[in-house]
A and B are shown apart, each in its own frame.
Chain A
Amino acid sequence: MGSAKTNIRNSKTIRKTPPIASTGSIGWIRKNLFSSIPNTILTVISVYFLATIIPVAFDWAFISSQASGENRFSCSSSGACWAWIDQRWGQFLFGFYPESERWRPAVAFILLIPAILPWLIEDFFWQRYLRVFSIAYPVVATILLVGGAGLPEIPTDKFGGFMLNLIVGLSGIVLSLPIGVMLALGRRSKLPLIRYLCIGFIETVRGLPLIALLFVSNILLPIFLPTDVTLDSVVRVIIMVTAFAAAYIAEVIRGGLQAIPSGQYEAAQAMGLTYFNSMRLVILPQALRISIPGIVNTFIGLFKDTTLVIVIGLFDILGIANAMVSNPDWMGLSTETYVFVALFFFVVCFSMSRYSLWLERRLEKKGPHEW
């Protein structure tokens, strides 16, 4: 008996420190890059590719590049020609928004940060007040962008550039989530009328390409409106993009709802919670948590789809890029232009992806989520 005890203690002390080579950077490299022969081959091939591509790309973008000049002819270097940025960055950001008023979208963008962070991060400072502010934010931003309250009015067909992508993308994201939740719940409703309406909406919208929805939006939307109301084209795009994303989100959330065991519904019922409260407090927090990857995936798709506004004559950042590439002064600089545009999308989409990973990991810390 006694010897068995010491044995156990001995084996514990031996295991206290792991073998040296499995920790630190050498340990990491050995474990992740050279753990087996196929793994080693892949590592060598990848390193070879990176070693050939990175220096060339770096040289093109920075070392041999030129960042000033009047037009493409003033760029004489072998690398990238960034001279146009200096002239055109305003258009890339704001489209045809009058230059003297461009401070307005800029302020709206800066105010977006305190409006959005208290919803993304729990226990953000001044969270309560900032959340009140974020509820007022859409009104503030609309006044800043469109005008009113003393500010001169700017017609929305002057909106463009990355600002347009952000406006359509963010409105779509913020609106499509609650609508998607309602559609998902409606699709599981016991009331046949609600259920069939939701199924009809989801399947119709999902069954059509977004580009087609945008094309027909000026025929389709007036059906649901009084005859004397004409919809602004930016509003029309926001509605279509929202409807499109909401249909996808509804299906993602429906998947999450189905994963929740019936015992959770029953426990909520047995406590006497109303349908609304049991969804809000018990079911949806869990269903949304499961659905985070799918929801963010849809949002990323939505954000990239904002480039489709071009089909109804609006110039988002990609539209501006297209216009510039076909401008005689800057023709032939498509690589530079599209790389520049791609960076904008990449930064936004990659941030969303990282945020979702961070959120998932933080929720996991609250303990294993098992039923």
Chain B
Amino acid sequence: MTAEPAVVAPVLPAALRERIVAEFPKYPEKRAVLLSALHFVQDTFEGWIPQAVVPEVAALLGLKPIDVWEVIHFYAMFNSEPVGRCHLRVCTNLSCCLRGARGIMRRLEETLAVRPGEVTPDGNFSVGEVECLGSCGTAPVIQVNNERYREGLSEDDLPGLLDELRTRLAEQDAAKDEE
């Protein structure tokens, strides 16, 4: 009755696989490497975790695919759908909501013309609601990609934040063009 272990066609690039395996000695057991492994996957695949890699990551760490899915969905920092180059996570848990997170979320959706789960046509931005980021004292809080939190925000801070991010993306594009 136990399901046969699925035969997994490799999709993880060799370098990524090696990077995950190199983590093994740091932890008492293989499965503890899962969080690092998922971060590495996101680094490699433009900020999200494609469905096809999950069985292979699971097999590598001696887990079942469903365990990996559970972890991907538990943590707000993992994305199972494509995201923009800047993915904005808005905390909408209690403290942040009491301090205006709903308005921030609405403003972002309007300004960028995206809903959670969508990406702007230029591929630059996406937004998502997340649970408590553990920074309630400085609510409301936004996290861009895996960077430092942007804390104590108001709706009025948003145009400045978006300008900053756009400038940064433009600089990155320019740097790429030079190469």
A binds B: no
